[in-house]
Structure 1
Amino acid sequence: MMVALLILMIGLTPSLVSLWIMRQADAQAQERLRHALEAIAHRGLPSLQPTPDLRYIEGIGLLIGDFTCRYNARSRYLRCAINPSGPCEGCRQYDPVIPDESVMLDS
């Protein structure tokens, strides 16, 4: 009888220890999350101001920079490969896109 009880205790010990460690880790994670939420509430988020050359183009979405330039990245975050930080006005590498004739014939 004593041997059976000893075997049962040895068999349950790893599960109990694992359960205790998981509960401790969960409590620590909840505490860190609570501290992070309090820090954000006290500090606040910075206001995100849209850049002045951010434009909405139908069918494409929000773009930054001059869309008529061949090197425009057609992105909301990057103007072009040559002058990524901008501005587009007065850029020496400005190369206007020549409309494709097949596109012009369809319209």
Structure 2
Amino acid sequence: MLALLWIIAVGFIPPLLSVWIMRRTQKRMQAELRRAMTATNRIRARRYPVSLPPDSYYLEGVGYLIGDISCRFNARSRYIRCAVNPEGPCQGCRHYEQKEEV
């Protein structure tokens, strides 16, 4: 009876050891990936500093927007000013229409 228990115990040791090694390796790889991602973000932020256009402003709940928000055609986007004149500038635009108040 004791020999049977010994055989069963010895049979369980390799799978348990394998699971332990796999989990330890997985945690190490996730930590390494996390470090690499943060390092890449820091390098990219240093290399390409974000510069906002002069006509940008911050709208609570939306983020940074560019262009004249009072215009009907404003895209309310950080990248495009409006549907008619995406490159801008908004000053003196011949397509400007005042937004209707609701």
| TM-score normalised by length of structure 2 | 0.63
Do 1:66 and 1:88's aligned partners in 2 also have CA atoms closer than 8 Å?
no
In the TM superposition, what is the alpha-carbon distance from 1:23 to its structure 2 partner?
Answer: 0.9
Aligned residue runs from structure 1 range 1-107, under 5 A:
1-35=2-36, 37=38, 45=46, 46-56=48-58, 62-84=64-86, 86-89=87-90, 94-100=95-101
* Identity among equivalent pairs (%): 34
| TM-score normalised by length of structure 1 | 0.61
Do 2:71 and 2:99's aligned partners in 1 also have CA atoms closer than 8 Å?
no
Give the Cα separation in 1 of the matches to 2:35 and 2:63: 37
Cα 1:30/1:73, change in 2 over 3 Å: same
Q: Which runs of 5+ in 1 are unaligned?
A: none
* Cα root mean square deviation, aligned: 3.5
- Aligned residues, how many? 99
Q: Which runs of 5+ in 2 are unaligned?
A: none
In the TM superposition, what is the alpha-carbon distance from 1:95 to its structure 2 partner?
Answer: 4.0
